[in-house]
């Protein structure tokens, strides 16, 4: 009987440890996605502000990356694994899942649309469209622990 109890206890410990490692990896993956999204947005900022020459290929590259990240984020956040640290994912994400997911879906579609146009349009036509994409604060206010 002791052996069975030991095996059950050991199994429960192992399963909970694996679950924790999985949660940690999910959180790290999400953080990686958000950091990459921030880097792409930061790379586009000088172009939007007129500090750098407009290059449609560069704009397209970063906007395609943003669209790709937005697609991945919809999947990465699907598992309800909230974080507890400041600057992390709030449980409100899963309480309002459809709203949260729709924001990333819209970002994906719009970033791809602007990326597709960026090589054939002028800076004056593209920059206002890019500005509509970067509404990060609206999500952070609702879905990020501050």
| Number of folded domains that form the chain | 1
Across 128-133, average pLDDT: 90
Q: What is the average pLDDT value for the chain, to the nearest integer?
A: 85
In a domain, 116, yes or no: yes
Q: What is the pLDDT of residues 33-60, one digit of tens each?
A: 999 999 999 999 999 999 999 999 999 9
In a domain, 48, yes or no: yes
**3-class secondary structure per residue, the chain:** CHHHHHHHHHHHHHHHHHHHHHHHHHHHHHHHHHHHHHHHHHHHHHHHCCCCCCCHHHHHHHHHHHHHHHHHHHHHCCCCCCCCCCCCECCHHHHCHHHHHHHHHHHHHHHHHHHHHCCCCCHHHHHHHHHHHCCHHHHHHHHECC
**3-class secondary structure per residue, 1-39:** CHHHHHHHHHHHHHHHHHHHHHHHHHHHHHHHHHHHHHH
Distance CA 63, CA 108 (A): 9
In a domain, 15, yes or no: no
pLDDT attached to residue 24? 86
CATH classification of the domain holding 46: 1.20.120.10
Q: Is residue 121 scored above 70 in pLDDT? A: yes
Contact by Cβ (8 Å): 59, 126: yes
Contact by Cβ (8 Å): 69, 40: yes
Give the structural domain span for 116.
29-143
The answer to whether the predicted template modeling score (pTM) of the entire model surpasses 0.85 is no
In a domain, 73, yes or no: yes
Q: Is residue 19 scored above 50 in pLDDT? A: no
pLDDT attached to residue 17? 38
In a domain, 94, yes or no: yes
In a domain, 13, yes or no: no
Which range is most confident: 21-30, 74-83, 107-116, 119-128? Answer: 107-116
């Amino acid at each position: 009987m002791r052996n069975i109890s030991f095996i059950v206890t050991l199994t429960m410990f192992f399963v909970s440890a694996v679950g924790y490692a999985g949660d940690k990896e999910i959180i790290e993956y999400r953080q990686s996605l958000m950091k990459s999204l921030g880097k792409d947005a930061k790379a586009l900022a000088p172009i939007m502000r007129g500090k750098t020459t407009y290059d449609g290929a560069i704009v397209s590259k970063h906007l395609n990356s943003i669209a790709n990240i937005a697609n991945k984020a919809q999947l990465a956040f699907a598992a309800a694994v909230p974080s507890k640290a400041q600057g992390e994912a709030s449980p409100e994400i899963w309480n309002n899942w459809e709203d949260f997911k729709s924001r990333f879906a819209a970002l994906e579609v719009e970033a791809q649309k602007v990326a597709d146009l960026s090589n054939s349009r002028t800076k004056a036509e593209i920059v206002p469209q890019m500005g509509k994409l970067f509404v990060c604060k609206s999500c952070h206010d609702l879905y990020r622990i501050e």
